[in-house]
Amino acid sequence: MKRLKVKNDFIFRKIFGESKNKDLLISFLNAVLELDGLKKLEDIEVLDGTELKRDSMEDKLGILDIRARTKQGENINIEVQLINQFNMDKRTLFYWSKMFTEQLKEGQPYNDLKKTITINILDFNYIGTEEYSTVFHLWEDSNKNCKLTDVLEIRFLELPKFRKAQPDMSKPLDRWMVFIEDSPEEVLEMAKREEPAIARAEEVLKQLGSYDEIRRYYEAREMAIHDEISRITGAREEGREEGERKKAIQIAESLLGILDIRTISEKTGLSIEDVEKLRIQ
């Protein structure tokens, strides 16, 4: 039976977003957040409600893939994005701000606001660095040792960059990325040997694949993703063609009175009829 894609957001939620599998989420978060020793997460609350509240019906709805809270009250959101809609920076800030501000009830002091972390797993390149794992905080521009506050933390994990790298099995995050990606069997086996939680996650994945209903939801989600990619690609191609046509028209207009209509048509790619229309206008 073909292995289900972990990065399919529906499957990702089934593995990491259910309380019965919170040991897997804890292991994954410790790897992503680079926590070790006494800083390691030992327990976490997986929150059922992934829909962010709206102050009014006109507010934009936010749906989080996985939402959790640490024992210290820190909020964590994990989102899987497979399609580049060219708004990930603003999207993640929108979700972060919603999670951060909705902590505060009426009459509570601002000091009650807890750290909020968003983790974005992207199946496209977005951040202008070579590293597949990046983290952002609030720093002073001219003095990077001066952090305004640690309540904001935004992380990106870019799968295409990871695919180009050689996984380092001594790093917990690399091991988990091998599991999330469609990695070769021998590499996945190495990750499972190094990380028992990954071996259990693989068993959960196989079990999910054995259920017909799960596979139907999975296939429907895969089809929706492909349709959305086709729509975005088509819109971008249409926009590119329109831009090229506008540029050709501008060049043709500048050549009117200098070259004959046939020559302008040959140089710009516009039809003779289109060039003639420009001359009449």
75 found inside a domain: yes
* Residues 206, 223 within the same domain: no
The pLDDT assigned to 58 comes to 41
- 179-202 confidence digits (pLDDT tens): 999 899 999 999 999 999 999 999
Provide the H-helix boundaries in the chain. 9-16, 22-32, 88-101, 159-164, 172-180, 185-194, 196-209, 212-255, 261-268, 272-280
* Residues 17, 130 within the same domain: yes
2 found inside a domain: no
- 154-174 confidence digits (pLDDT tens): 999 999 999 999 999 999 999
When pLDDT is averaged across residues 27-53 and rounded to a whole number, the result is 87
46 and 68 in contact (C-beta within 8 Å)? yes
Counted domains in the chain: 2
3 found inside a domain: no
Mean pLDDT of the chain: 87
The pLDDT assigned to 85 comes to 86
* Residues 48, 181 within the same domain: yes
- The larger pLDDT score, comparing residue 62 to residue 164, is at 164
Three-class DSSP category at 75: strand
The pLDDT assigned to 25 comes to 98
Domain limits for position 222: 212-281
* Residues 198, 220 within the same domain: no
* Residues 50, 183 within the same domain: yes
The pLDDT assigned to 269 comes to 77
* Res. 238 pLDDT band, cuts 50 70 90: low
Q: Any idea what DSSP says for residue 59?
A: S
Measure the CA–CA gap between 191 and 183, rounded to whole angstroms: 10
Residue 248 has pLDDT above 90, yes or no: no
Residue 54 has pLDDT above 60, yes or no: no
CA atoms within 13 A on the CB side of 246: 6
Angle between helices 22-32 and 9-16 (to 10 degrees): 110
The pLDDT assigned to 130 comes to 95
Lowest-pLDDT range, 55-59, 120-124, 191-195, 221-225?
Answer: 55-59
Tokens of 167: 């996984």
Q: Is 201 exposed, middle or buried (0-12, 13-18, 19+ CB in 10 A)?
A: buried
Choose one of 153, 181, 210: the last residue of a domain. 210
* Residues 190, 224 within the same domain: no
Residue 52 has pLDDT above 50, yes or no: no
Residue 63 has pLDDT above 60, yes or no: no
* Placement of tokens 């060039």 in the chain: 275
* Residues 21, 119 within the same domain: yes
197 found inside a domain: yes
* Residues 187, 219 within the same domain: no
* Residues 23, 151 within the same domain: yes
* Residues 106, 171 within the same domain: yes
pTM: 0.79
* Residues 162, 279 within the same domain: no
* Buried residues in 95-133 as b, exposed as e (16+ CB within 10 A): bbebbbeeeeeeeeeeeebbbbbbbbbbbeebbeeeebb
4 found inside a domain: no
* Residues 30, 147 within the same domain: yes
Choose one of 210, 241, 259: the last residue of a domain. 210
Choose one of 163, 180, 210: the last residue of a domain. 210
228 found inside a domain: yes
Q: Which of 181, 142, 145, 143 is nearest to 162 (CA)?
A: 181
Measure the CA–CA gap between 243 and 222, rounded to whole angstroms: 32
142 found inside a domain: yes
134 forms bridges with which residues in the sheet?
A: 156
Tokens of 2: 């073909």
